[in-house]
């Protein structure tokens, strides 16, 4: 499959041959692609960084029992080849025309009736988020609605009429004209996806590879060691849209289904590297509550629907939300090349500022988290300037086991306090064997302050970070004593 991708738009297969359209690059975003057509200009660019939601679209793909699964995405963060084999739905697709009369979709009609729009710029994105709720939830709670709207900024109406529209709309068992045409769409998608030959897009300055098996992905990784690896692209797309970086070679793993499994193996839960953050969040509610807690404030639903756990770990960001809690859960990373594989503790995987112990022929294929026994406590915390849609100022995750009243095991991991996610090992040593009481914790807080030399930046002064880190340890102590 040279230079060509295919997806469903407006009820039919749309083919894009990059060799015939030199204005399109493989790193053209879905947002910019749609904006190039007069019939799909409802999608808007507000921020180009996944923050405002004005560019929200819905992607449908085949799930279990050949039923379509609908996901809201920020189209400014999605490269065009990533929607190969999927249905692309925009705000223009929601209303239908019958007998020369146009009928709004129920979510659109109720947004009108509740006066949920004023200036209108953000409205198409909000409508698509409401559509996403409609297709996924029957009688959703207010919390589900608010979470789904977290990634949509509206500066005119406030959110109450929008929430009211969602509450009134989502009582129809997801029935609409998309339900009626679902079988036809599934057949179109099956036709596209029957060809699993690697998509290779090349022009004078770029190479883009999209394999559909792990063996092919590893082969391409070995042959193209300098290629940028993407799975969800939420980090890499930002580097292009905000920093104007150019990527000459890209290896896109978003089509590798083998990386999208969750399984139980050797007393551990194994997450494929391509599992989305939203899938991890939903799966971890009972099994890994501290992970679920931190993912509840990870970006927006649009971002969580595309960002992957492998990508978040692989970025090795010192403020990556998952890293401290994965430290606390003693997670391991599986790395594979064409001829070998190895498993490494996550603490050893992170080796420097945005640097990881991964060779230029390896890919992250799994994130392995041991099952947790009930004798310990793990909790996670995130401090940021706002609750939702914000980068961590300081994050932390702590693990504690007691023997009687004394500490038998403790792990204190922090993000935002150094160039890497880092454990406070001297503080841990102080607490081991000591009684878990406020006096000892306050002594440990003094040691903790000396373990880190945080930076001052746009998010916070170093002094605040030090104080916050100490207070998070105290907060953890107070919560464990209450329980």
The answer regarding whether domain 260-482 maps to CATH 3.60.110.10 reads: no
CA distance 253 to 307: 12
Kindly state the tokens that stand for 221: 């990784």
Residues found in the chain: 483
- Percentage of the chain modeled with pLDDT above 70: 100
d(CA 52, CA 238): 14
What whole-number distance in Å separates Cα of residue 227 and Cα of residue 224?
6
Full 3-state SS string of the chain: CECEEEEEECCEEEEEECCCCCCCCCCCEHHHHHHCCHHHCCCCCCCCCCCCCCCEEEEEEECHHHCEEEEEEEHHHCEHHHHCCCEEECHHHCCEEECCEEECCHHHHHHHHCCCCCCCCCHHHHHHHHHHHHHHCCCCCHHHHHHHHCCCCCCCCCCHHHHHHHHHHCCCCCCCHHHHCHHHHHHHHHHHHCCCCCEEEECCCCEEEECCCHHHHHHHHHHCCCCEEECCCCCHHHHHHHHCCCCCEEEECCCCHHHCCEEEECCEEEEECCCEHHHHHHHHHHHCHHHHHHHCCCCCHHHHCCCEHHHHHHCCCCCCCHHHHHHHCCCEEEEECCCCEEEEEHHHHEEECCEECCCCCCEEEEEEEECCCCCEEEEEEEECCCCCCCCCCEEEEEEEEEECCEEEEEEEEEECCCCCCEECHHHHHHHCCCECCHHHHHHHHHHHHHHCCCCCCCCCCHHHHHHHHHHHHHHHHHHHHHC
Local confidence band at 417 (pLDDT 50, 70, 90 cut-offs): very high
Q: What's the average model confidence in pLDDT over 472-478?
A: 98
pLDDT tens per residue, range 49-85: 999 999 999 999 999 999 999 999 999 999 999 999 9
For the segment 339-365, the average pLDDT, to the nearest whole number, is: 97
- Please, what's the b/e burial string for 69-108 (b: 16 or more CB within 10 A of its CB; e: otherwise)? ebbbbbbbbbbbbbbbbbbbbbbbbbeeeeeeeeeebbbb
Handedness of CA 390, 391, 393, 395 (dihedral sign): positive
Strand partners, 70: 60
Under CATH, what is the fold of the domain 106-175?
DNA polymerase; domain 1 (1.10.150)
Give the pLDDT of residue 266: 87
Cα angle: 168, vertex 57, 384; to 5 degrees = 85
* Per-residue pLDDT at 222: 98
pTM of the model: 0.96
Dump pLDDT digits (tens) for 389-411: 999 999 999 999 999 999 999 99
Tell me: domain 4-93+180-252, CATH 2.20.25.90, correct?
A: no
pLDDT of residue 292: 98
Q: What is the model's pLDDT at position 400?
A: 98
Of 434, 429, 443, 435, which is closest to residue 473 (Cα–Cα)? 443
8 Å CB contact between 219 and 209: no
| Confidence category of residue 458, pLDDT binned at 50, 70, 90 | confident
Give residue-wise pLDDT tens across range 84-131.
999 999 999 999 988 888 999 999 999 999 999 999 999 999 999 999
Question: How confident is the model over 210-238, as pLDDT tens digits?
Answer: 999 999 999 999 999 999 999 999 999 99
Mean pLDDT of 148-152: 96
pLDDT, position 1: 64
Confidence band for 29, pLDDT divided at 50, 70 and 90 = very high
- pLDDT-derived band at 25, boundaries 50, 70, 90: very high
What are the residue boundaries of the structural domains of the chain, listed by start?
A: 4-93+180-252, 106-175, 260-482
- Between CA 346 and CA 359 the distance in angstroms is 15
With beta carbons less than 8 A apart as the criterion, state whether 383 and 467 touch: no
Angle 438-451/462-482 helices, nearest 10 degrees? 150
Question: Residues of the chain with pLDDT > 90: what percent?
Answer: 92
**Tens digit of each residue's pLDDT (9 = 90 or more) over 240-273:** 999 999 999 999 999 999 999 999 998 999 999 9
């Amino acid at each position: 499959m040279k230079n060509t991708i295919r997806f469903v738009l407006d009820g039919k297969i749309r083919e894009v041959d990059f060799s015939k359209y030199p204005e399109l690059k493989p790193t053209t975003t879905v947002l910019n692609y749609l904006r190039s057509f007069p019939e799909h200009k409802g999608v808007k660019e507000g921020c180009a960084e996944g923050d405002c939601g004005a560019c929200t679209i819905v992607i449908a793909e085949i799930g279990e029992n050949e039923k379509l699964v609908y996901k809201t995405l920020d189209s400014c963060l999605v490269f065009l080849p990533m929607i190969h084999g999927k249905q692309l739905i925009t705000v223009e697709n929601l209303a239908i025309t019958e007998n020369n009369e146009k009928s709004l979709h129920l979510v659109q009609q109720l947004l009108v009736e509740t006066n949920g729009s004023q200036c209108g710029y953000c409205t198409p994105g909000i409508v698509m988020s409401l559509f996403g709720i409609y297709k996924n939830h029957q009688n959703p709670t207010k919390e589900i609605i608010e979470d789904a709207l977290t990634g949509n900024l509206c500066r005119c109406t406030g959110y109450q009429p929008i929430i009211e529209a969602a509450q009134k709309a989502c009582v129809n068992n997801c029935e609409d004209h998309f339900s009626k045409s679902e079988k036809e769409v599934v057949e179109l998608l099956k036709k596209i996806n029957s060809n699993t030959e690697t998509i290779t897009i090349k022009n004078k300055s770029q190479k883009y590879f999209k394999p559909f098996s792990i063996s092919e992905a590893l082969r391409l990784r070995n042959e193209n060691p300098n290629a940028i690896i993407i799975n969800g692209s939420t980090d890499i797309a930002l580097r292009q849209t905000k920093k104007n970086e150019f990527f000459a070679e890209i290896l896109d793993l978003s089509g590798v289904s083998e990386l999208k499994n969750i399984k139980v193996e050797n007393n551990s839960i194994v997450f494929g590297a391509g599992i989305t953050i939203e899938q991890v969040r939903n799966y971890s509610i009972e099994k890994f509550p501290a992970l679920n807690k931190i993912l509840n404030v990870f970006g927006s639903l649009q971002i969580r629907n595309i960002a992957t756990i492998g990508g978040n770990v692989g970025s090795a960001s010192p403020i990556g939300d998952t890293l401290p809690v994965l430290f606390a859960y003693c997670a391991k990373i599986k790395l594979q090349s064409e001829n070998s594989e190895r498993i490494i503790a996550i603490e050893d995987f992170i080796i420097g500022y945005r640097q990881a112990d991964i060779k230029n022929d390896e890919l992250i294929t799994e994130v392995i988290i041991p099952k947790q026994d009930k004798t310990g406590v793990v909790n996670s915390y995130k401090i940021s300037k706002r609750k939702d849609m914000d980068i961590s100022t300081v994050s932390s995750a702590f693990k504690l086991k007691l023997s009687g009243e004394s500490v038998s095991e403790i792990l204190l991991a922090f993000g935002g306090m150094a160039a890497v996610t880092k454990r406070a090992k001297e503080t841990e040593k102080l607490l081991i064997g000591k009684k878990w009481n406020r006096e000892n914790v306050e002594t440990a807080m003094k040691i903790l302050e000396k373990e880190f030399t945080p930076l001052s930046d746009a998010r916070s002064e170093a002094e605040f970070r030090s104080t916050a880190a100490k207070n998070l340890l105290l907060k953890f102590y107070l919560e464990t004593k209450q329980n």
